[in-house]
Amino acid sequence: MSESILIIGGGIAGINAALNAADYGCKVYLIDDTASIGGMMARLDKTFPTNDCSICIESPLMYEVDNHTNIEILTNTEVRRVNAQNGTFTARLIKKAKYIDEQKCTGCGKCVEACPVSVPDELDGKIGGMRKLIYMPFPQAVPNVSVIDPRCRYGKMREQGACVGGCVVDCSQCRECPIALCVKACKEEGKDAVVLWQADRPMDIEVDGIIVATGIQSAEPATGLYGYNIYANVVTNTQFERLMNAGGPTAGEIIRPSDGKHAKKIAWIQCAGRGLAKGLPYCSKVCCMVATKQTIITKEHDATVEATVFYNDLKAYGKGFWDFYQKAKENGVTYLKARPYDVFEDPETRNLTVRYENMDTGEIEQQEVELLVLSTGLIPNENNKRLAKVLKIELDDLGFFKEKDPVLAPLETNVEGIYVCGGATGPIDISESVVQASAAAMKAVLH
Amino acid sequence: MDEDIRIGAFICDCGSNIAGIVNVPEVVEYARGLKDVVFADEGKWSCSVDYLATMKELIKEQGINRVVIASCTPRTHEPLFKRTIKEAGLNPYLLEFVSIREQSSWVHRDDPQKATEKAKDLVKMGVAKAALLEKGEEIRLPVNTDCLIIGGGMAGMNAALNIADQGFHAILVEKESRLGGLVKDIAAISYNNETVPADEIVNAKAALIDSHPNITVYTNAEIETVEGYIGNYKVTVKADGSREDLDVSTIIVATGMKEIEPVGQFEYGRDPRVITQLQFEGMLKKWNGECAKGNGKISNSKSQIKNNDVVIINCVNSKNESRGCCAIGCHISVKNALALKARNDGARVHILYRDLSMVREEGSSLEAAKKAGVRFIRFPDDRYPEMREEDGRLSVLVNDLLLGEELTIPADLIVLTTGFKGNDTVDDIKGLLKISANPDGFFQEAHIKLGPLDFPSDGISLCGCARSPKSLKEAMEEGTGAAMRASIPMKQGFLEAEGIVADIDLDLCTSCGLCEKNCPYGAIQWVDEKPQVIKALCKGCGLCAADCPKKAITIIHYSDEQILAQMEAALEERAEEKIIGFVCHWCALGGVDMAGVSRLQYPSNARLIRVMCSARVSIDFIERAFELGAAGVLVAGCEFPTCHYITGNYAAEERIKKARKRLARKGYDPNRLWNIWCSAADGPKFANTMRDMVKKLGL
């Protein structure tokens, strides 16, 4: 039986694996390479097929993890090296500097207010989301502490007006900074938690088992695909999700990137990029329900919005999914079995015309919309390759972690004691991730 | 309570986050003047390690026995302060948390004076409640290590092995004579183009079960009675005609599913050439067997196959008004088409489908089937294929959606891919365990996203096809996952519940039974004709207390007395300007906090009272607020369908309707009672509601 386990990835799968193992009595190290746990689910607006508010149901678990005596959370942390010996593992972790003393920071946000430079947010940048150079990952972040964009420190943001831009000394050389406004604001609060000279910190731990829960990411469409990156009002389903979210960059207003006007005609193109040379060769299975959710919520925001989904094969495979699809249709959403092949923009209105083959009639038709959403599918986490090498476990031909025997020994890898769950295994929804997390935790504690 | 109440109030500056707007020294001074307050202090950063140490000393030094902390939000910081006062020797439930940052300084920045007034009121309300706080205790219910698994299919067997491998006792009850469930009746399992005979899989698992010293198996068995709750179930099993009583601590439901018989459809049942996928599996399995007898030479088995034209029709009894996608039919049809082609290369196989619901790994078998010459024809959702018979030969008439043509396909064999439903035992199990299932007989999990393997009642877990149709891989994962869920309390040796629980005063109780009926957790059980709260099962939502006609139920830490005291404190002065807001801890308070974090500015009229669930708010509370002169009342709960307590907000909604009627009867304007369902992400919604209320109420 394992006494301690390392869980790599703090999304909903990692969180659930951690809570299960920790409640069981195991010491758990839960690490994430971003500044907060929560993963993809923390950024979603709603979850299908019930339209539960995503952060409402996830944040209590995040706080539970935070307060669990058996769980140590390490954010901004990567695994560098792992050695297996007699069924136990020695892992070298690197805690990348947040340039913040996490013990002292209370997440009060005074530093954020003081920072003079706003830059496009990683997640929401394309739809107008901005953040400061010192920022909170998101409002419910755990741990609830600020983080500094490393670019700030080396004067790379000089032209954008960074307050330390004029300084010629490398921040790591100082132990005090008279220039940085965040440092000053924090000192005024009596905290002194901003540490611009902080260095990455190595850390060695010994564990009996490892669970890989590194999740999945949304595929970025190729520039030009249905006008993406060329026409302003073509967005991905992830970006649209953020537009719907009251906690997102538009406070939940579904507005067009081009002019900030509410979109009244919206279309979704399913399987965007699938089967193309650079597209995904597989079905990501959740996008049909994601689109269905997005149409329902859009109609809840404004019932007069016309919503059309261009789809190919409808995946309504899970419990309650079919009823959810029916609900969308009852609410007036149009589902068209169609193959869209071209999109062009009216330069004046910035509206988009979608040309498609209607598979029911065989006719070529077209439709003009004000906002176009590309359902782009899910791809392996970009760090999978590196991590697979570190852990000496295999990836499948698509880049997801390979299970030794998916049917007879699911979630087990080619290294005994290392297990995988959630999006790390492939496209998956939240409930399936939660199931796998419990199962992987069971296997890890039994190891 | 005999001891003197000695309240210590700790008001936090949060650097300048609070102190920059709220005049904290004034609030501290004000707190000192409140009844029962023996000590009040201002802390620059109350959550800092230094101040927490100071706080502990002060608690001891000043003989403080109740603590009010006025700072950020209980959603993030209550556990920290609970731990702190515990370390100072106090019971952790003797803490009242007041939120003056999210509810005042961050949201009333433009009016420091009003922000200060509101902070004082909030502290006063906290002090009023603190004076009535009672010690709480974490309640522990002992849990032993015997687990009953109902259903000996692949999920159930997997669960049993995982339970037993920990040294716990697994009791596996199977209604049939053999273990293996649905999988034992099928030919092969395929994954990523690899095919394994199903018998091999079943036999290997069953052998592990048979040889495991910690597993007891009952076959030909059924569960007759179940009584009790986690840690304490008494179960009667009838196996091979004899009865046995078992004491178990946890239960895993793994009762599986069955194929729906398409009686009357496509002449099924009348014409032997029309069969279901499961019957087709049986045929393939037989051929496999004969093939094995023929020294593994496929040529020997080929002679057995006379069916050269096979038509597979998908989505029979699926994706219609009453039932959704069967989840696995597409993959099964492709798998079996490939199996047939492997035996009889000359067979012409057509798969008629609506949508091909094949996911990542299944895509490769689709490619293989196309390569092997299996033909796929897509038919429209509203035009199912029709069967024809001419001169004793069957054919299928189908509208090919992609070609836009009607096709007639000859058929020696028609295979119907039909939907699934829960097993026949579902109704009995439902009644015995007091759990629910959907119309198709699939059990209802605690939460479709985050509690897929749990039931609302602690101690019972769910896995496999008893929850919904799924692949073998997923069923195996669920079996292991359910074993984990059941093992946690068995490993700990107890189930622990928070101290916020219901308590029934049996002197007042008239045994009407409403509380038992309403409790979503089965935490109220009937003992000697009286209700009894099984405290470890109670989640403290307060639904029972709010509806109890005799007011016989107290929710510890959220009692009527305490909530009324908060309300009275809030409305003591200038009630006519104030709004009493009841906010649930999980979502609505999250929305309030989000408004704070986002620095949304709104009027300062509301005085919020935290409850665990909106279902805790009784009509009496609402009426009392108006009696005390409140300008308005707001009840804020989770946005539907989310509720931390399953359906508390639905109950609250019903009650609010009744409350409006009662208010009208009593001469209050029912429009002064507002309610919102607010997600934890929706700061704007809460802020807008505040603005709207103030406007509509003319404040």
DSSP run (H or E) holding A354: strand A352-358
Do B413 and B430 lie in a common domain? no
Q: What is the pLDDT of residues B622-653, one digit of tens each?
A: 999 999 999 999 999 999 888 989 899 999 99
- Of the candidates A316, A398, A446, the beta carbon closest to that of B166 is on A446
What total of structural domains would you count in chain B? 5
A-chain residues near B492 (CB < 8 A): 23-25
Average pLDDT over residues B7-13: 97
**How do residues B453-468 score in pLDDT, each as one tens digit?**
999 889 999 999 999 9
Has residue B670 got a pLDDT over 90? Answer: yes
Q: Give me the residue from B402, B451, B473 closest to A407, CB to CB.
A: B473
Same domain (yes/no): B476, B512: no
CA–CA dist A286, A274 (Å, integer): 14
CB of A410 within 8 Å of any CB in chain B? yes
**Mean pLDDT along residues B224-239:** 95
Q: What is the tens place of the pLDDT at every residue in A354-385? A: 999 999 888 999 999 999 999 999 999 999 99
**Interatomic CA distance for residues A442 and A21, integer angstroms:** 7
Does one domain contain both B618 and B692?
yes
CATH number of the domain at A4-95+201-215+381-446, out of 3.50.50.60, 3.30.365.10, 3.90.1710.10, 3.40.50.2020? Answer: 3.50.50.60
Q: Which of B418, B435, B460 is the last residue of a domain?
A: B418
The per-residue pLDDT for B508 is 96
Q: Domain boundary at B511, B529, B554, which?
A: B554
Whether B291 shows a pLDDT value over 70: the answer reads no
Contact (CB<8Å) A435/B44: no
d(CA B274, CA B219): 33
Q: B46-74 b/e with 16+ CB inside 10 Å = b?
A: bbbeebbebbbebbeeeebbbbbbbbbbb
Residue A369: phi and psi, rounded to 5, are: -130, 165
* Nearest residue of A to residue B325, measured between CA atoms: A317
Tell me if chain B has a CB within 8 Å of the CB of A246: yes
pLDDT score recorded for residue B506: 95
Q: Check whether residue B481 and residue B519 sit in a common domain.
A: no
Whether B384 and B530 share a structural domain: no
B651 to chain A, any CB pair closer than 8 A? The answer is: no
Residues of chain B in contact with residue A55, where contact means CB-CB under 8 angstroms, are 590, 679-681
Compare A200 and B241 and report the one with higher pLDDT. Answer: A200
Q: What b/e string do you get for B393-432 counting C-beta neighbours within 10 Å, with b at 16 or more?
A: ebbbebbbbeeeeebebebbbbbbbbbbbbbebbeebbeb
Q: Which range among A400-414, B153-167, B189-203 has the greatest average pLDDT?
A: B153-167
Q: Is the pLDDT of residue A323 over 60?
A: yes
B513 in the same domain as B364: no
- Whether B152 shows a pLDDT value over 60: the answer reads yes
CB pairs under 8 A between A and B: 232
Of B471, B213, B427, which Cα lies nearest the Cα of B328?
B471
pLDDT band at B300 (very low <50, low <70, confident <90, very high): very low
Contact A251 B684 (CB under 8 A): yes
B86 and B192 together in one domain: no
**B80 vs B508: CA distance, rounded Å:** 38
Q: What is the DSSP letter of A171?
A: G
Angle at B416 between CA B411 and CA B418, to 5 degrees: 170
pLDDT class of B296 with cuts at 50, 70, 90: very low
Q: Is the CB of A251 inside 8 Å of chain B's CB atoms?
A: yes
B302: confidence class by pLDDT, cuts 50, 70, 90: very low
User: How much is the mean pLDDT over chain B?
Assistant: 93
Is residue B99 classed as helix, strand or coil in its secondary structure? strand
Contact of B250 with chain A, judged by CB distance below 8 Å, is answered with no
The 3-state DSSP class for residue B341 equals helix
* pLDDT cut 70: percent of chain B above it: 97
pLDDT given for residue A153 in this prediction: 82
Residues B229 and B314 in one domain: no
Q: Mean pLDDT across the stretch B398-411?
A: 94
Decide if B71 contacts B46 (C-beta within 8 A): yes
Least-confidence region, from A348-357, A423-432, B494-503 = B494-503
Helix (H) or strand (E) holding A30: strand A27-31
DSSP secondary structure code for residue A227 in this structure? G
Distance of CA B267 to the CA centre of its chain: 42
pLDDT digits (tens, 9 = 90+) for A415-426: 999 999 999 999
Given a cut of 80, whether residue B305 has pLDDT beyond it is no
- Tell which B residues from 50 to 89 touch A, by Cβ distance under 8 Å: 75-76, 79-80
Question: Which pLDDT band holds residue A279 (cuts at 50, 70, 90)?
Answer: confident
Contact indicator for B83, B24 with CB cutoff of 8 Å = no
Q: Is the minimum CB–CB distance between B193 and chain A shorter than 8 Å?
A: no
Tokens 């199977």 locate to B174
Assess whether the region A4-95+201-215+381-446 and the region A219-378 belong to the same CATH fold: yes
Nearest residue in B to A361, CA atom:
B404
* Residues in contact with A359: Cβ distance below 8 Å, sequence separation at least 6, in sequence order: A337, A338, A339, B401, B402
In DSSP notation, B3-46 reads SPP-EEEEEE-TTTTTTTTS-HHHHHHHHHTSTTEEEEEEESST
Q: In this structure, what CATH number is given to the domain that contains residue B619?
A: 3.40.50
DSSP-derived 3-state class of residue B314: strand
Contacts of residue B452 in chain A, CB cutoff 8 Å?
A: 431-432, 434-435
Give me the pLDDT at residue B306, please. 63
- CA A403 from centre of chain: 23
ipTM of the complex: 0.96
**Quick one: pLDDT band at residue B2, thresholds 50, 70, 90?**
low
pLDDT value of position A336: 96
Give the mean pLDDT of B203-209.
97
CATH T-level fold of A219-378:
FAD/NAD(P)-binding domain (3.50.50)
Q: What is the CATH number of the domain that holds B455?
A: 3.50.50.60
Segment A29-36 mean pLDDT: 97
Helices within A97-224 (DSSP H only): 110-114, 150-153, 181-188
pLDDT in tens, A54-81: 998 999 999 999 999 999 999 999 999 9
The reported pLDDT for the residue numbered B292 is: 61
- Write down the mean pLDDT value for chain A: 94
Does residue A234 come out as left (phi exceeding 0), alpha (psi in the -120 to 50 range) or beta? Answer: beta
Tell me, yes or no, whether B407 and B438 share the same domain.
no
Say what the pLDDT of residue B298 is.
41
In a mutational test of the A interface, the residue from B360, B440, B612 whose CB has the highest number of chain A CBs within 10 Å is: B360
Residue B203 touches chain A, beta carbons under 8 Å: no
First to last CA, chain B: 41
Chain B environment of A437 (Cβ under 8 Å): 481
User: B37-95: per-residue pLDDT in tens?
Assistant: 999 999 998 988 889 999 999 999 999 999 999 999 998 899 999 999 999 999 999 99
Q: Where does a domain end: B365, B392, B418? A: B418
> Do the chains contact at A316 and B325, CB–CB below 8 Å?
yes
Task: Report the alpha-carbon distance of residue A439 to residue A423 in Å, rounded.
Answer: 14
Most B CBs within 10 Å, among A283, A292, A319, to test the B interface: A319
Q: Where are the domains of chain A?
A: 4-95+201-215+381-446, 110-188, 219-378
Radius of gyration of chain B (CA): 32
Look up residue A98 and give its amino acid: K
Are the beta carbons of A426 and B473 separated by less than 8 Å? no
Average confidence (pLDDT) over B512-532? 92
Cβ separation B473–A313 shorter than 8 A: no
Best residue of A50, A421, A438, A447 to probe chain B, by most B CBs closer than 10 Å? A438
CA distance B528 to chain A (A): 35
Q: Which residue of B has its CA nearest to A411?
A: B477
Mean pLDDT for the stretch of residues B123-148: 94
- Alpha carbon separation from A398 to A414, B91, B370 (Å, rounded): 17, 55, 21
- Whether residue B24 is predicted with pLDDT greater than 90 in this model: the reply is yes
Q: Say yes or no: B526 and B630 in one domain.
A: no
- Give the mean model confidence (pLDDT) for residues B565-581: 97
On the question of pLDDT at B493 being above 80, the answer is yes
- Helices and strands: H and E segment counts in chain A: 10, 23
> What pLDDT is stored for residue B307 in this prediction?
67
Full domain range(s) for residue B519: 501-554
Task: Assign A77 to helix, strand or coil.
Answer: strand
Cβ count near B213 (within 10 Å): 8
Task: Choose, out of A317, A378, A434, the residue to mutate when testing the contact with B (most B CBs < 10 Å).
Answer: A317
Q: Kindly state the average pLDDT of the residues B534-542.
A: 92
Task: Find, among B118, B208, B286, B162, the residue nearest to A446 by Cα.
Answer: B162
Q: Is the pLDDT of residue B591 over 50?
A: yes
Q: Are residues B364 and B225 in the same domain?
A: no
Query: What is the rounded radius of gyration, in angstroms, for the C-alpha atoms of chain A?
Result: 23
Same domain, B449 and B482: yes
Substitution target in A15, A314, A442 with the highest count of B β-carbons within 10 Å is A442
Under 8 Å between Cβ of A279 and A288? no
Would you tell me which residues 46-105 of chain A have a C-beta closer than 8 angstroms to some C-beta of chain B?
47, 49-61, 63, 67, 103-104
Query: Which pLDDT score, from 0 to 100, does residue B136 have?
Result: 87
Q: How far is B282 from chain A (nearest CA, A)?
A: 21
* pLDDT at site B417: 97
Quote the tokens at residue B543.
Answer: 């639904």
Whole-number Å distance between alpha carbons of B61 and B98? 23
E strand spans, B85-144: 95-99, 139-142
